[in-house]
Amino acid sequence: MLIGTAGHIDHGKTTLVKALTGVDADRLPEEKARGITLDLGYAYAPIADGSVLGFVDVPGHEKLIHNMLAGATGIDFVLLVIAADDGPMPQTREHLELLDLLGLTRGAVALNKVDAVTPQRLAEAQAEVAALLAGTGLAGSPVFPLSAKGGEGVAALREHLDAAAAGTVRAVAHGRFRLAIDRCFSLAGAGTVVTGTAHSGKVGAGDTVIVSPPGRSGQLRARVRSLHVQDRPAQQGQAGERCALALVGDFEKRDIERGMWVVDPALAIPLRRFQGELRVPAGQTPLRHLQTVHVHLGAEDIMGRVALLDCAEVPAGTQSAGAGDTALVEILLERDTLALRGDRFVLRDAGAQRSVAGGRVLDIFPPTRHKRSVERLALLAAMRDDDPLPALSLQAAQASAGVDLSRFAAAWNLAAAEAEALWSRAGLTLIRDGESQLGFAGAAWAALEQRLLEALAREHERASDLVGVERERLRRMTSANLPRAAFDALVGQLLAAGRIAQTRAWLHLPEHVASVSAGDRDLFAVLKPLLDAAPFNPPRVRDVFRASGTAEDVVRQLFRRMARGGELYPVAHDHYFTAAAVAELAAIVRRLNAERGMARAADLRDIIYGDGGGGRKVAIQILEFFDRIGYTRRVRDEHILRSGAANHAWLNNN
């Protein structure tokens, strides 16, 4: 169990930790010289069952609240220390307010320095403590009168802490590993060592981790050489434990700072904004829209602004959240940090003089538009539930283009098995898209099917002489932001069910048949041999006119109609290839990709025109045509077969 101290300066926090553990948590020479705690201190004490109590001792000075908050990250139990002679003081109240904003509800009060007060004053102090705790998460916590210096009552407190530790449910090490760094130092024989509390997952010697967000040297990849857990050598650490990790990699100690994270590579997702929920404490001034604040998240303190999403403007233009109010917000940060859904944060005013709100992260991938729509606010409300199913179900219902399940799993820190179980519970249609996976709600998938069928019907009515619609154009007509992999799966399903049909490059309803007039058919029969004579570089419209004597505009209009009928392809302006030629060219491009991983204009030219040096311009136009229709994609000067290219079976269907 991790115990964090709290309380006013000079109320005896460090002395009490030493009395409980035998360890002086003040480690800095300046702390020892001045007799006050300036930074976080750590101490450990064994328990009879073989486990360890960990103590994080925090400074009590009002100017060191940022250090106190860094230490409060990840603790299980609060030890609030109050001097009996002074009673609750300003930092006592402020620390208690901060702990309440962090959602901490387990704790005890050490009423220290009882040897310096009368029984009457002790009774008064106990009453003051009870009044102080009323209405907070620590209300009803036991109070232990004691003297940290003299030892009176310390044993009773230690016995209570041991019992609390025994009753603590060990943190479930679900999800991937995350640790908020609160110290970094060099140690002979170990190298760079970082310490902090593990928020989730497990880490072991030999594991690869990322130190993020990017600092002076960018994002750092490291290997865990060795580790200590709760101040003992160990092979593995996990959520809820204080860990010291010896890291090796291409970096130096100066590249790592408090506030950075050590995470599993899948969770290295730097961000500058997130959406969440917060509460303004009772007695505080209202939190204004776009107010500048200090954002304390993990062990970090970052300047930012808070945008209110669901608060009414009273009066107009003065949107705010009042004392005791809760609100949905977007936090805009001045620099990168890491966060996941459920992380707690505290906001302090721009001058770092008072706490203005506290809450938790809901969404690390917020939209850039429609942030205050009814649908968006409903989704944020669903994200309040610790079960991710309601949020996933609602997000899938709202997302016509599907939910990026890889991002969802990362945001909620779901391990692979947890994620797969959730997708099954939600009843999603799953589509693989490269390294990612998309999830569609049943109703959303059915709506996409209907939109595709309606788009085809409208197009058939508009242009009855067209065979159908090209695949890429139909994707945009169905849903412009629908990923290609999802569209290909949708088309494949409808084709398999016989609800749509395919003729070469065109998709159409099964009952639709394009018509070409007898006159067009007769004239094309006369001109087509000119195209067949040089299938990979056929004559352009003006050349057909010169060779046949048929008026140039007549040729152009005829070829356009034949292209609409599916017998020609406009590879470039006024340059039409027959369907058979395009199918052969597609097969060549597919073969080049199979042999070399891509197709280049020079390679295509050499195959179809020989190595005489001509035809490069036409080869480029052919490859650009395949990019345009979605058969390939261009990467610099290379043309890579798309993952859905197998669906272009029409290229062999003449």
> Is the pLDDT assigned to residue 648 strictly greater than 60?
no
| Domain spans of the chain, in order of start | 2-166, 178-267, 271-375, 397-511, 518-652
User: Into which CATH architecture does domain 271-375 fall?
Assistant: Beta Barrel (2.40)
Where helices occur in 39-153 by DSSP H, the ranges are 65-72, 90-101, 119-133
Best-predicted range by mean pLDDT among 48-52, 106-110, 240-244?
106-110
Question: 3-state SS of 137-204?
Answer: CCCCCCEEECCCCCCCCHHHHHHHHHHHHHCCCCCCCCCCCEEEEEEEEEECCCEEEEEEEEEECEEE
Domains 271-375 and 397-511 share a fold: no
Q: What is the pLDDT of residue 647?
A: 52
- For residues 90 and 85, what is the distance between their CA atoms, to the nearest angstrom? 14
Neighbouring residues of 44: CB distance < 8 A, sequence distance ≥ 6: 21, 23, 52, 53, 54, 55, 230, 231
pLDDT range class, residue 654, cuts 50, 70, 90? very low
- The separation between CA 308 and the C-alpha centre of its own chain, rounded to angstroms, equals 21
> Is the pLDDT assigned to residue 612 strictly greater than 70?
no
- Higher confidence at residue 63 or residue 414? 414
pTM (2 d.p.):
0.77
**Neighbour count for residue 379 (Cβ, 10 Å):** 21
Q: What is the pLDDT of residue 190?
A: 81
- For residues 48 and 51, what is the distance between their CA atoms, to the nearest angstrom? 7
The highest-level CATH class for domain 178-267 is mainly beta
348-404 pLDDT, tens digit each = 999 888 889 999 999 999 999 999 999 999 999 999 999 999 999 999 999 989 999
- Higher confidence at residue 344 or residue 58? 344
Q: What is the pLDDT of residue 33?
A: 60
Is the CB of residue 261 less than 8 Å from the CB of residue 269? no
The highest-level CATH class for domain 518-652 is mainly alpha
Q: Could you tell me the CATH superfamily of domain 2-166?
A: P-loop containing nucleotide triphosphate hydrolases (3.40.50.300)
> Is the pLDDT assigned to residue 652 strictly greater than 60?
no
Q: What is residue 353's DSSP assignment?
A: S
569-606 pLDDT, tens digit each = 999 999 999 999 999 999 999 999 999 999 999 999 99
> Would you say domain 397-511 falls under CATH 1.10.10.10?
yes
Q: What is residue 466's DSSP assignment?
A: S
